[in-house]
Amino acid sequence: MHLLVTGGAGFIGSVVADQLLQAGHRVTVFDSLIKGYRAAVPSGATFVRGEIHDRSALEALMTAGKFDGILHFAAFIEAGESMREPGRYFQNNVAGSLTLIETAVAHGISRFVFSSTAAVYASKDAPLTEADPIAPANAYGATKLMVEQILDWYARLKGLRYAALRYFNACGATPGRGEAHRPETHLIPLVLQVALGQRSHVEIFGADYPTPDGTCIRDYIHVADLAQAHLLALAALDQHPRLILNLGNGAGYSVRQVIEAARQVTGLRLPAVEKPRRPGDAAILVADAGAARRLLGWQPRITDLHEIIASAWEWHRTHPHGYVAAS
Interacting residues with ligand UFG between 190 and 249 (CB under 6 A): 190, 202-205, 216, 218
**Residue 319: which of 171, 170, 175 has the closest Cα?**
175
The number of helices, as runs of H, and strands, as runs of E, in the chain is 11, 14
Query: Does position 168 bind ligand UFG by CB under 6 A?
Result: yes
Catalytic annotation, pick one of 37, 89, 121, 140: 140
Binding mask 294-323 for ligand UFG (x = CB under 6 A): ------------------------------
For ligand UFG, which is the closer residue by CB, 61 or 128? Answer: 128
* Alpha-carbon torsion, ordered 206, 208, 211, 216, to 10 deg: -10
Shortest CB 23 distance to ligand UFG, Å: 25
Q: Catalytic annotation on 154?
A: no
Shortest CB 117 distance to ligand UFG, Å: 3
Position 173, amino acid: A
Piece of the chain touching ligand UFG by CB under 6 A; list 62-70, 85-93, 94-102, 181-189: 181-189
Beta-ladder partners of 170: 221
Query: Does position 187 bind ligand UFG by CB under 6 A?
Result: yes
Query: Does position 79 bind ligand UFG by CB under 6 A?
Result: yes
**Residue 317: which of 190, 201, 182, 196 has the closest Cα?**
196
**Residue 188: which of 242, 262, 263, 125 has the closest Cα?**
262
For ligand UFG, which is the closer residue by CB, 109 or 262? Answer: 262
Q: How far is it, in rounded angstroms, from Cα 151 to Cα 145?
A: 10
For ligand UFG, which is the closer residue by CB, 102 or 184? Answer: 184
Is the distance from CB of 266 to CB of 195 less than 8 angstroms? yes
Backbone angles phi, psi at 173, to 5 degrees: -155, 160
Binding mask 2-41 for ligand UFG (x = CB under 6 A): ----------------------------------------
> 56 burial class (0-12, 13-18, 19+ CB within 10 angstroms)?
exposed
- Cα of 323 vs its chain's centroid, Å: 18
Shortest CB 241 distance to ligand UFG, Å: 25
Query: Does position 124 bind ligand UFG by CB under 6 A?
Result: no
CA atoms within 13 A on the CB side of 27: 29
Q: List interacting residues with ligand UFG (CB under 6 A).
A: 77, 79, 117-119, 168-169, 185-187, 190, 202-205, 216, 218, 255, 278, 281, 285
